Amino acid sequence: MFVIFGASGHVGQASATALRRAGHQVRAVVRDAAQTEALAAIGCEIALADLNDAESVARAIDGAQAVQWLCPVPRAHDDPAAAMRHIIDAGVDALRMTTPPRLLALSDYGAEHPDGTGITTLFHYLETQLLRNVASSLILLRAAEHMQNWARVLPVALGRGVLPSLHDPLDKLFPTVAAEDVGKLAAQLLLDEAPTRATPRVVSIEGKERVSALDVARTLAELSGRPVIAQRVPRDEWSAVLRGAGLGERHAQLIVDLYDAHNAGRIDVEANVSERRFGATTLRQVLEALLSRVGGMEAAAR
């Protein structure tokens, strides 16, 4: 039995689908019963779990030969860092109660840094807690920024013709990856018959080509047939822009700190440590899929 946490998200659903297609039993762990239809349709066993409750998480893990674990970012929480630490601590307690032979934790580029990286610091905490407390054969899958994150600014880009960016300068190339490629690689790693290791296996994944904010704007313009230009958000306006997008003050500060680290070149693959992998999905393919969804929603609203 393969247990996939966050199975209703882009990454988790890709992992669950790949494992089911390979003929394996999958227990898809979600927090909301409304998220289960697509997973049940591909033959997953469904488990509901409260990620803040170690016993609930342990029940979801029970009997697993391998677990794919994700700590979600609690967007609506007043203190997302404290909320993430609580989820991580509960998960670690559960993994000590019911230790699977193999564990893959989804992490981020930059997770090797103990501080100064905003929300990525929480993934350093996750990795550290697992290393200290869990005896499973451990895989740390560090992913670059997800291409799907640009969905958040598509309405502005298409409506105003301006793609706001915290990446500075606009022509700076940065690593990014399609979420489905992360999920597919995670499934491959869970199935890999590599021997048990005394140290964690650290694997990084990004797309084949690094991109810039200018590349994103240009691709959106080509796909949509509308003029779109990239625009740097001034540093002193970041927090206000993020709060205007619905983030609380503490969450906004975590993102500000993250992009300060990004622009300083600290959010990248850890040299000489990670096994490097590259996803096949291009930025153009991801943006095309996102635009088709936006078009569908616009048509439905008319």
Express the helix, strand and coil content of the chain in percent, nearest 5 each.
Answer: 50, 20, 35
Residue 296 confidence (pLDDT): 42
CA dist., res. 175 & res. 207, Å (int): 7
Nearest to 156 by CA among 211, 233, 222: 233
**162-176, 184-198, 268-282: least confidently modelled range:** 184-198
Instruction: Please report the DSSP string for 236-262 in residue order.
Output: GGHHHHHHHTT--HHHHHHHHHHHHHH
CA dist., res. 269 & res. 55, Å (int): 35
Q: Which residue is associated with the tokens 């690094």?
A: 210
pLDDT > 50? residue 51 = yes
Q: What mean pLDDT is predicted for residues 162-169? A: 96
CA dist., res. 147 & res. 91, Å (int): 27
Measured from the Cβ of residue 160, the count of other Cβ atoms closer than 10 Å reads 12
pLDDT > 50? residue 98 = yes
Preceding amide of 175 cis, omega within 30: no
- Report the range out of 35-44, 187-196, 251-260 with the highest average pLDDT: 251-260
CA dist., res. 150 & res. 162, Å (int): 13
Report the mean per-residue pLDDT for the chain. 92
pLDDT > 60? residue 8 = yes
Q: What is the largest CA-CA distance in the chain?
A: 58
For the segment 217-231, what is each residue's pLDDT rounded down to a tens digit?
A: 999 999 999 999 999
Q: Which residues lie across from 45 on neighbouring strands?
A: 27
- Confidence band (pLDDT; 50, 70, 90) for 196? low
Question: Contact, 154 vs 294, CB < 8 A?
Answer: yes
How far CA 44 is from CA of 28, 191, 226, in Å, comes to: 6, 17, 41
Burial classification of residue 286, based on how many CB atoms lie within 10 Å of its CB (0-12 exposed, 13-18 middle, 19 or more buried) = buried
We find that the CATH architecture of domain 2-146+177-206+268-280 is: 3-Layer(aba) Sandwich (3.40)
Question: Contact, 214 vs 170, CB < 8 A?
Answer: yes
For the segment 83-94, what is each residue's pLDDT rounded down to a tens digit?
A: 999 999 999 999
Burial classification of residue 236, based on how many CB atoms lie within 10 Å of its CB (0-12 exposed, 13-18 middle, 19 or more buried) = exposed
Q: What mean pLDDT is predicted for residues 228-251? A: 94
